[in-house]
Chain A
């Protein structure tokens, strides 16, 4: 008897925590999402009327921000993948005894607050930073062009902030590849590029899938980068939810938007995993 009960006892703290801090808030959020303002009541007073029209209103009103969220998140994910893959490959296969040192460097940004690092990007891309004057002097951007408060800055910030989430799963996946399978590929008449296409990339697909998900999901819901590095024209859905909650005190719309975002991400992720066919991979 004791042996059967032990695993459940071990799960209890985790379940308890998730119940109080995840299940209950979700249920609370769900019931908030269909509320309507109390007639003649104060700002922020709502009553349950099961108005599902809230969802449609919220979506129609903010579909531009929804679209922008997914486009920005997608671009940031692609950029992060393009930067991380060679990086993870080099750390896994070429860094020798410095492997752990480089991994620490990848994680090092986490030693500083997410907010501070994003604010730092504002400095880097600002008029006083070195990037803008340099680009202006070589004529890549005109003297009137600025980089802050642009979509470019928001996407760059997101790419930077989520880079470790892409690099680490990619590294884990590439590091597991037996280098002898790459030698075998060369032995069997595949040149470097073909070996990458036919052996390295397929074998690292679990890392690609995990990394892109870990980057795309938080990026789609992010509001910090758009708030600090963007302008009103680069608002993402996260910014809308934030302002509905804390500034306009429109809880039902904020809750409905949160659920819509969750559902959209869930559907996209499911389709993606089906397409990528992770169950086919070892």
Chain B
């Protein structure tokens, strides 16, 4: 070693990283800065390159082109065991021949830390499993193994903690609980977490910043609220939650707003939420932002008339409608069941309205199905 990378600290900077396997580009010219101390999520469907990116950060793969820096230190070709980076593996990868205590102590012993006992016990208390120190991994439940895998990584106080679909093998209820715990632990220990997941809800619950990946590139990056309220591409609009995307044309200008023509009806939308390059756009509205009203009821904001309710699904907290518009498109509408009014019926003639501020606009040449046909529940097999 010409320098000591193991003490490197600071922001993680990926510069123009490309990873090729033969003709296939798993990661394509990706640049990314992950600020120190943040909880960062790489979100995307199977095969989008997020796991490959994580493995390059861990040192398990070497980029074909590009460089990785941790603060000022170049770690592009540094061996995994020389990086101050630890990983929580997808299926935990605990050492089956060692006790829980020795699993957690493994990294400390390799680094020649003096007070192994105190460090291990501290982190066992943090994950609330001090009574399992003497057990073997196979004697633990999935949720317990998950916490031990986390403890084994954070006990080393790495500059960066990588989490590779860490909750993928847990059932839904346990997953929700672990999401809250992980977030709490991240705040508690103050480490930088980089979390790879295909579960958009998981990413939104935990991360400060999410990078949505698709086909080896970053589609969009921002806070969960930014990504949800102001998606820049159809892929993000569909992969993160659901969206109604309606073909339209920009026909005018009104201060901070744009006026758009949607199949002969005028609506307005905020200028700063338009990502169009010309007059041809897709108008995007999230299903829960819509309000439904019967034809003669007066409404404010943007209105689209001529709808007919095609389908009603009552799901307790809300009612989901499919509304067919005069131009043949079916729009999704989620109405909260909080007003004591009986749901509308199938066949009712209705107007759809919403506050203009909730409107976003995408380029008119986008593929509106992008990101909607991928099944995010399929476990990542990259």
Contacts and interface: CB of A to CB of B under 8 A. Distances in A.
Contact of A189 (B95, B136, B156): B156
A280 B89 CA distance: 25
Contacts of B136: 282
Contacts of A282: 96-97, 136, 138
Interface in A195-241: 198-199, 202-203
Contacts of A187: 58, 60, 80-81, 85-87, 153
Interface in A232-281: 280-281
A184 B138 contact: no
B80 A186 contact: yes
Contacts of A281: 97
Given A181-B96, A183-B60, A202-B97, A188 B106 contact: yes
A109 B96 CA distance: 35
B91 interface: yes
B126 interface: no
Contacts of B89: 180, 183-184
Contact of A185 (B6, B106, B138): B106
Contacts of B153: 187
Contact of B97 (A183, A188, A194, A203): A203
A189 B110 contact: yes
Q: Which of B58, B90, B110, B156 has the most CB of A within 10 A?
A: B110
A157 to B, nearest CB: 36
B65 interface: no
A226 to B, nearest CB: 39
A280 B99 CA distance: 11
Interface in B87-105: 87, 89-91, 93-97
A178 B90 CA distance: 12
A137 interface: no
Nearest to B80: A186
Given A194-B110, A282-B136, A186 B95 contact: no
- For chain B, the bracket of interface size reads 20 to 34
Contact of A188 (B6, B90, B152): B152
A contacts with B: majority SS: helix
B157 interface: no
A6 to B, nearest CB: 32
Contact of B81 (A180, A189, A203): A189
Interface string A54-68: 000000000000000
Contacts, number: 67
B96 A188 contact: no
A190 B110 contact: yes
A113 interface: no
B79 A191 contact: yes
Contacts of B131: none
A194 B110 CA distance: 9
A184 B110 contact: no
A186 B60 CA distance: 9
B114 interface: no
A200 to B, nearest CB: 10
Contacts of B93: 178, 180-181, 183-184
B111 interface: yes
Contacts of A183: 60, 80, 87, 89, 93
Contacts of A189: 6, 81, 107, 110-111, 156
Contacts of A203: 95-97
B68 to A, nearest CB: 15
Contacts of A194: 110
A184 B110 CA distance: 13
Interface string B63-93: 0000000000000000111000111011101
Contacts of A185: 95, 106
A180 B107 contact: no
B86 A188 contact: yes
Contacts of B91: 178, 180
Interface string A17-31: 000000000000000
B79 A188 contact: no
Nearest to A199: B95
Contacts of B152: 188
B184 to A, nearest CB: 24
B78 to A, nearest CB: 12
Interface in B252-272: none
Contacts of A186: 59-60, 79-81
Given A180-B89, A183-B60, A191 B81 contact: yes
A199 B109 CA distance: 14
A188 B156 contact: yes
Contacts of A280: 97
Nearest to B82: A189
Contacts of A198: 106
Given A187-B80, A189-B110, 7 more contacts: A178-B91, A181-B93, A183-B93, A187-B153, A188-B106, A188-B107, A199-B97
Interface of A: 178, 180-181, 183-191, 194, 198-199, 202-203, 280-282
Interface of B: 6, 58-60, 79-81, 85-87, 89-91, 93-97, 106-107, 110-111, 136, 138, 152-153, 156
**A-B complex: 4 closest residue pairs judged by Cβ atoms:** A188-B107, A189-B110, A180-B93, A184-B93
